[in-house]
Amino acid sequence: MIRRDFDPDTVMPDGRPPAKGMVFDPKAEGAWRGSLHGEVINGPVTVLAYGNDTPGQGPKLHVHPYDETFIVIAGRARFFVGDDVIEAGAGEAVLGPAGIPHRFENLGPGRLQTIDIHHSPRWIQTDLD
C-alpha cells in the first residue's frame, strides 16, 4: 500500500535535531516504571510506562489540562473517564479528554501494561482521590 497523505515539499523542518530519551528501565520494579517529558527531547508529548500484575489495581482518579491517550500493550483494563466506563485490551487505545477526571484498573488475569501519552511537553496532574 502506497500512502501519499501530503506533499513533502509543503513542510519545512523547524531546525530541531533528532533526539533520544529513556522512557523506562526494562529492569525496573513497580507499577510506574518511568516517564519521558517531551521537553527533554524537544517534543510535544510526554510518555509514561505503567504496569501492574494485580487485578483491580491502577492509578488513582486524577485530571489533566490536556488530552491523554492510553495504549494497552498487554492485558486488559477498565477505564473510568468521566461518567463513561470503557474496557480495552492489548492493541487498543483510549482517549481521556482534557479536564475530564479519569483512572483505570487492571481487569486481569495477569499483567496490565500501558503506554500513556500526555499531550503536553510536561506531565501536569491533579489527583482527586
Instruction: Give residue 53's pLDDT.
Output: 96
Full set of structural domains in the chain with CATH: 30-127 (2.60.120.10)
The per-residue pLDDT for 27 is 85
Q: Which residues of the chain have pLDDT under 70?
A: none
The dihedral over CA atoms of 127, 129, 35, 111, expressed in degrees to the nearest 10, equals -160
Report the pLDDT value the prediction gives residue 43, as an integer from 0 to 100: 96
How far is residue 18's CA from residue 101's CA, in Å, rounded to a whole number? 34
